[in-house]
Each structure stands twice: as C-alpha cells, then as structure tokens.
Amino acid sequence: MSGMVVQLVIDLIDTWNDYDIERAAVFYATDHEAIDVAYSKPLLGQQGGSLLLRHYLKAFPDLFIQRDKVIEQGYEVALFWTFHGTHQGAFLNIPPTERRVAVRGTSLFEIADNQVIRSQHIWDVAGLLRSIGLLPELP
C-alpha cells in the first residue's frame, strides 16, 4: 500500500489546482465526510468534497495549493500545505478584498478502496484574516 495512498492525495490536490470540480468528486467516497474549520458542520459525500473546491474557487479563483510535506501512515495521509490565491469573491461572509493570500494548513486524509472516506482540514484562519487586512500584523 505504501505510496499508493500518497499518490491518490497528490492526484486529488493536482485536480484542485486544475480547478476540475467534477473530477475532484470521484476522489471522494459516497460516504465521505469532510471537516473544514471554515464550516460549522461536516460536508458529506462526493459532492461534499467537491463543494469545498467550488467554494474556495468562488472566493479565490486563482488558488494554488503548494504541497509542503506529506506523511503516510497506513491508510492515512497527512498533507502540510500552503494555499495561495487572490481574494476575489466573498469568503466566510467577507467581501472580496483583491488581496493576495498565502495561508498554511494541514489536511488528514483517510483512504479506503482508493477513495477518500474522511478529510479533515485545519488551517490558519487568523493568518487569512491578517492577509486580507482584518487583523493587525504580528510583531
């Protein structure tokens, strides 16, 4: 199994970077559960996974997810990443600011039968708010 689950996650992130919402959906199991700090409740199913991409693209149409580090343990893959984009659409009920952002985060993917069955995305919300001018810079 070694390497196969990592490649699946790399392919998924490449699909996000290609802005291919329909193709992204097939990476997620029908019973997939997506947990993201930007949402108050999990997003479910294949459409829940691709809905994340749809929402992020609406706010950051030039998004790019840089893979910083990947760690595999069995059927789980931890991905440390940096999200780059320009805030051109409403996000978290914040109107577009046209500012460039670079936000760090980590995602944990659980894989079964060559699909993502659970994904948890934890990222630096304060860093995003700082990047778009809603929080002061840290000293």
For the stretch 20-70, pLDDT in tens is 999 999 999 999 999 999 999 999 999 888 899 999 999 999 999 999 999
The confidence score (pLDDT) of residue 2 equals 61
Residues counted in the chain: 139
Q: For the domain with range 4-131, which CATH number is right: 3.40.50.1820, 3.10.129.10, 3.10.450.100, 3.10.450.50?
A: 3.10.450.50
Model confidence at 138: pLDDT above 90: no
* 87-121 pLDDT, tens digit each: 999 999 999 999 999 999 999 999 999 999 999 99
The residue extents of the domains of the chain are 4-131
The strand order across the sheet containing 100-112 reads: 43-44, 28-36, 115-123, 100-112, 76-86, 64-73
- Overall pTM > 0.85: yes
